[in-house]
Homo-oligomer: A and B are copies of this chain.
Amino acid sequence: MDYRNKTVLVTGGLGFIGSNLAVRLSEMGARVTIVDSSRPGCGANPYNIASVADRLRLITRDLGEAQDFAEALRSCDVVFNLAGEVSHIHSMMAPERDLEINTAAQLRFLEILRRERPGVRVVYAGTRQVYGAPRYLPVDEDHPVEPVDYNGVHKHAASQYHLMLSRVGALDAVVLRLTNVYGPRMALRIPCQGVLSAFLRRALLGEDLEVYDSGEQLRDPVHVDDVVEAFLLAGAASSLRARTYNVGGPEALSLRQIAETIAQLTGVRVVTRPFPADRKRIDIGSYRADSSRFQRDFAWSPRIRFAEGIRRSIEWYRQHFEHYLDAHRPALCGMPEHQGRQRRLKLVPA
């Protein structure tokens, strides 16, 4: 897996996973171009790439304006396509915004890409969200697609674009359906980014963590370094045996276990709340990915266990606190509807 002097494009490269990937690619000697709109609410943070900023090119454009950066596509060896909005709560509050960001912009981008760089390898960041409430565990790639929110519908449509364009020979794409990812560079300032982000934010601010009812629902968190490795492998493979792969973590933990691990490392408490009715309705229960297809085809496995990965993450956020949990600015969300719920963050000692 040699990325030296490879020309790569990372869409959403200022976001959580995209920036970890861009930093890693830069360190490996790739020529990295990032496309990122920095749209409020989507997780872009220029600090994410501070360590390699002088070594890469940043195009501050929306993915849907790909005609404006067509020349950057022409020379690409690999496209890592991670731009998007991940919040399912945002998607239910503003469905058309989610359609625009996650589907329409992707359509415009892929149409320009297929014209400028036909047949190029594209690795798209899909999501376990598309499965909805699992019918069985672990969830393999043949599990029915039954999302419980607009975000799942729109991200699935975007993956269908990638797969359809590969079927007709226009692109050579692969979709990685990611489970809950955590690690450095998460957008902790933005509420509604999922349970791991919320737990980390609260714990780092000294607030108690809340679990609903027994908190026994399983998740299989995967460290972003393991995810980056999966993207690199999928981008470099000379041929693909399949085009859709689950990428999950090394172990299944209950939300209570996850909360307790984080609480223990940060000195906060875990409190139990009754399940709010509106949350219960869209609760997916337990999730655990069956990633054996990806493990088999790419000789990959998730190496970082949660207890270790989250400890290192918390250390990292304490070192970079002001860039992720600025005490003097309100939590950013991007949803006008959420303004009332945004509040000033409190600085707590590490």
**Residues of A near any B CB (own CB < 8 A):** 95-96, 99, 103-104, 107-108, 111, 132, 142, 144-150, 152-154, 156-157, 160-161, 163-164, 167-169, 281-282
Contact = CB atoms under 8 A, between A and B. Distances in A.
Scoring A96, A146, A160 by chain B CB atoms within 10 A of each residue's CB, the highest score goes to A160
Contacts of A142: 144
Contacts of A111: 95
A115 to B, nearest CB: 12
Contacts of A168: 148-149, 281-282
A103 B164 contact: no
Contact of A148 (B103, B153, B164): B164
A153 B168 CA distance: 13
A153 B160 contact: yes
Nearest to A144: B142
Contacts of A169: 281
A148 B132 CA distance: 24
Contact of A108 (B96, B144, B145): B96
Please give me the 8 A-B residue pairs with the lowest Cβ-Cβ distance, nearest first: A157-B157, A153-B160, A148-B167, A147-B164, A153-B164, A95-B107, A153-B157, A99-B107
12 contacts: A95-B107, A103-B103, A104-B104, A146-B167, A147-B164, A148-B164, A150-B164, A153-B160, A153-B161, A156-B160, A157-B157, A168-B281
Given A103-B103, A169-B281, 6 more contacts: A103-B157, A132-B167, A147-B160, A148-B167, A150-B164, A153-B157
Nearest to A159: B153
Scoring A144, A148, A164 by chain B CB atoms within 10 A of each residue's CB, the highest score goes to A164
A306 to B, nearest CB: 30
Contact of A163 (B104, B146, B167): B146
A152 B150 CA distance: 18
A153 B157 CA distance: 6
A276 to B, nearest CB: 14
Contacts of A108: 96
Contacts of A153: 157, 160-161, 164
A147 B165 CA distance: 10
A195 B164 CA distance: 22
Contacts of A96: 104, 107-108
